[in-house]
Amino acid sequence: MVVMIEMNTDQIYQLAQLVGIKLDDQRAEAILSKLKTVLDELNLIPDDVLNGVEPDSTFTYQGEEVDG
Amino acid sequence: MGNNDIHYNNISDLASKLYQKQISPVELTQAYLKRIESFDDTLRSFITVVKEDAISRAKEMEKTIHSGNYIGPLHGIPIAVKDIIFTRGILTTAGSKILSTHMPKEDSSIIDNLMKSGAILIGKLNLSEFAIGGTTVHPYGTPRNPWNTDHTPGGSSSGSGVAVAGGLCAGALGSDTLGSIRGPSSYCGIVGLRPTYGRVSRQGVIPMSWSLDTIGPMTRTVKDCAILLRAIAGPDRRDYSSKAIGVPDYLKQINGGIQGLKIAIPKEMFEFEGLNHEIRDAVFDAITIFETLGASLTNVSLPMSVRSGAIGVSIADVEASSFHIDNLRSRGYEYDWNTRNRLETAALMPANLYIKAQRVRSIIRQELDDILTTNDIIITPTSPVLPPIVEKSTGLPGGLYQGDADMGRRRFISPAALAGLPAISIPCGFSDSGLPIGLQLIAKAFNEELLFKTGYSYERETEWHSSHPDI
């Protein structure tokens, strides 16, 4: 199931406060716009395709010897 | 500008002339310095030109060549590097006001390697702020595409693309997190390689994204790209991601041809509705040439690559925001408007979505690995669009995010980056308006040799690499 996230600038201000970033209205709107786009894209990927998939951030290449 | 002018000579040709003492490193360095002085007020490819150091180094290299101690094909060759690479005692700004007085105390490992090869550092090249891309106001001047200065050279290795295409240096280094070498190479009509993650040390390079950053060569020909990669590649104990895998002599097999090569054509790239028809035609023309040279073609699918733009941005920007968080809190106003927007947005990204992006990255990597198990090379356009005009490429400070356009463009260059695979952009034509077009080849990890061999086979059949902008 794909869930689209509802967000508004009040939530952006709250999150920014937690992170320690001060915003003005123009930047809060711009952040909201970008964050929505990225989150909507990510949410188009159904969670069930990720069953059994681990996060990948370091690489071991085919044929490479690994210790341990 | 005639094509036989010394500044447009290939590194391999220059090396032969230097070895035979037909030209001297000092003459060559002076020729590039003169070009920079004449044209860089408009092109804005350099942030710092190290004129005196370069001449002094050129004299030193001239002496060693004349004394019979020739090192190799980069000996006496003037090279410029992106201004995120640490150079001892030379301003290293990362294209940001925040580092406007930053003088590293040490050279990076790749500068050490370049110096060992006998190269001459001629200057530091302009870029999108902190290599993040989409800078709206460049504090050190807006880089311009030498093929048409109304258009962008792309980013973030903007200056590297401009300086190489404009004949302001013999070759350059750029960095590629999610396409920052391949994009400008395509837009500027040059060759640019993103090496396998771990092939080239990242030590002494200001990071954008620890898990995606790579440093690679940008040159006018495939052979030059191979020469430059060989000089900078190899294991480095000072970089934990560096792999202890030997660096082959890429020139040894470069003439070998591509008879029997298996090339995969992913439908998601060629059926993309935002793909410019001139680019599609140029890349299909190139595919026909590969087939004529003995390659076989297979249509394949990379379904998750459609989402790779969002995945790449989610990972790279979140990692970048972690690196920049202190400055965002205390000196946020000193960042470019758009850089700040990207970093602040990423700082607010929920952790579970960052992890989701990393899990999708695993799927994208598996898709590419599966295709490269039964095929040797994946071919795509490097960019679906021609270089936009400068203002449209960056938007305006305060503007809203152009999500669809950005994500569409990124789906072409993000998959190889997310999978840690090597990918090269090679010139394959021009639009009717005279703007360059590039194709991208992706290979298995650490098989840069095959990319060079394939690219060189194509280059021998075409003249695109011999065209230079009339600046």
Distances in whole angstroms, Cα of residue B307 to Cα of each of B137, B222, B241, B314, B402: 29, 30, 26, 11, 16
Q: How many angstroms separate the CA atoms of B160 and B170, rounded?
A: 11
Query: Using one digit for the tens of pLDDT, what is the confidence trace for B402-441?
Result: 666 677 788 999 999 999 999 999 999 999 999 999 999 9
Instruction: Name residue, tokens 């669809």.
Output: B404
pLDDT at B238: 95
Instruction: Name residue, tokens 């059994």.
Output: A52
Q: Active site includes B156?
A: yes
Chain B positions touching A31 (Cβ under 8 A) are 341, 344-345, 348
Gyration radius of chain B's alpha carbons: 20
Q: Active site includes B45?
A: no
The answer for B 242-281 residues in CB contact with A (under 8 A) is: 243, 245
Chain B positions touching A38 (Cβ under 8 A) are 310, 313-314, 345, 349, 403
Q: Is 90 exceeded by the pLDDT of residue B397?
A: no
Q: State the ipTM, two decimals.
A: 0.88
Gyration radius of chain A's alpha carbons: 18
Q: Is 90 exceeded by the pLDDT of residue B295?
A: yes
> Predicted confidence band at B394 (pLDDT cuts at 50, 70, 90)?
low
Type and span of the H or E element at B442: strand B436-442
Chain A positions touching B369 (Cβ under 8 A) are 62
Q: Residue B341: which of A16, A30, A57 has the nearest Cβ?
A: A30
Which of B178, B194, B344 should we substitute to test contact with A (largest number of A Cβ atoms within 10 Å)?
B344
> Predicted confidence band at A56 (pLDDT cuts at 50, 70, 90)?
confident
Residue pair B278/B437 in contact (Cβ under 8 Å)? The answer is yes
Cis peptide before B156 (omega within 30 of 0): yes
Which three-class secondary structure string do you get for B459-471? HHHCCHHHCCCCC
CB contact under 8 A, B348 and A35: yes
Which of A45, A49, A51 should we substitute to test contact with B (largest number of B Cβ atoms within 10 Å)?
A45
> Predicted confidence band at A1 (pLDDT cuts at 50, 70, 90)?
low
Q: Active site includes B180?
A: yes
Q: How many angstroms separate the CA atoms of B122 and B78, rounded?
A: 6
> Predicted confidence band at B56 (pLDDT cuts at 50, 70, 90)?
very high
pLDDT at A60: 65
CA distance A42 to chain B (A): 7
Q: Residue B446: which of A35, A42, A61 has the nearest Cβ?
A: A61
For residue B358, give both structure tokens: 């990393």
CB contact under 8 A, B362 and A15: no
CA distance B26 to chain A (A): 43
Segment among B131-140, B197-206, B344-353, B361-370 with least mean pLDDT: B131-140
Give percent of chain A above pLDDT 70: 75
Q: Is 90 exceeded by the pLDDT of residue B279?
A: yes
Segment B24-29 shows an average pLDDT of: 98
Residue tagged active-site, from B24, B45, B82, B242: B82
Query: Using one digit for the tens of pLDDT, what is the confidence trace for B118-128?
Result: 999 999 999 99
CA distance A33 to chain B (A): 6
CA distance A58 to chain B (A): 7
Give percent of chain B above pLDDT 90: 90
Please provide the size of chain B in residues: 471
pLDDT at B3: 40
CA atoms within 13 A on the CB side of A30: 23
Residue pair B456/B223 in contact (Cβ under 8 Å)? The answer is yes
pTM: 0.96
Query: Using one digit for the tens of pLDDT, what is the confidence trace for B371-388?
Result: 999 999 999 999 999 999
> Predicted confidence band at A57 (pLDDT cuts at 50, 70, 90)?
low
Paired sense of beta strands B120-125 and B78-82, if any: parallel
The answer for B 326-355 residues in CB contact with A (under 8 A) is: 328-329, 332, 340-342, 344-345, 347-349, 353, 355
Q: Residue B353: which of A19, A20, A39 has the nearest Cβ?
A: A39
pLDDT at A68: 38
The answer for B 17-76 residues in CB contact with A (under 8 A) is: none
> Predicted confidence band at A41 (pLDDT cuts at 50, 70, 90)?
confident
Interface residue B402 vs chain A (CB under 8 A): no
pLDDT at B392: 67
pLDDT at A66: 44
Residue tagged active-site, from B45, B109, B117, B156: B156
Segment B391-406 shows an average pLDDT of: 64
